[in-house]
Amino acid sequence: MKITRLAAPVCKGGENPMWDAERGELHYIDNAGWKVHSYNPETGATRSLDMPTVVTTLVLRRGGGAVVTLRSGIHFLDLDTGMLELIDPLPDPPPYVYNDGKIDSEGRFLIGGSTANFAAPAPDGGLFRLDPDGRVTQLDSGIHFSNSPCWSPDENTFYFSDSWVDTTFAYDYDIETGAVSNRRPFVNTRALGGLPDGATVDADGLYWVAVYQGGKIAAYRPDGSLERVIDMPVKLVSSVAFGGAELDRLFVTTIAHGTQGEPTEEGAGALFVVDGLGVKGRLENRFAG
């Protein structure tokens, strides 16, 4: 196994790596820096797009481009021009803010909602679903800080975290309707020294999660038992995604400055890749709208 720091833009708040097989690029966001980056690991070339406010999620569309969540709501994004099209606004001030999302095989966008009260976090976030026709449905509530949405390979199980309580939950998922049920604790990362942030599931069903503040990537079996732990060079690891031509490279975003007075580390905010894991990921689905 080898961990490499890549020559890609360093972020104030690196998040949401997303492999784009059609372009051969890794898209990732700098939420605090208000940017979307697109990095080509073969050439080292990077394109960067400025956003008008904090950007918290990026997923790809079947017809090209992306869907992003900003503080203002959900937008379509042209990855070449940076043009945004608002499709579902949030009020000002928002009752919650979107954070982290993924697409199911039917092209639905499941998005976490986090509390908008960062000074005194309350469980007023939740889980939402954007259907291809533009309708937004709330699926769950009682979430402080949403993270880690992803599915088991058969899509019968949906994973979703409340980072404030250090816990990833598992739900039963109905792929026919896009409904969730039977929420139960899946894993708690407190023993690893941090909280669950961005996550993905590999082709064998292992759940890989960035342990923010713990400086680790953890892989869990479907029964919740710990399979392996990777120690990263920095503590504020934020999200993970498999990519590369064979989907066997694990890209890892990190954050430069935390909100709890954490000391700044060398390499914090950089993009890393882990090679030689002996596992493969799966292509992320694209939004059908």
- Tell me which residues are annotated as active site: 197
Q: Which residues pair with 48 in a beta bridge?
A: 37
Among candidates 121, 203, 104, which has minimal Cα distance to 159? 104
| CA quadruple 40, 17, 191, 171: dihedral sign | negative
- Smallest CA-to-CA distance from 46 within 79, 2, 76 is with 79
The pairing of strands 73-77 and 66-70 is antiparallel
Which residue type does 253 have?
Answer: T
- Say if strands 96-103 and 136-143 run parallel, antiparallel, or are unpaired: unpaired
Between the two ends of the chain, the Cα-to-Cα distance in Å is 39
CA-CA distance, 145 to 187, in Å (whole number)?
Answer: 16
Residue 95, classed as helix, strand or coil, is coil
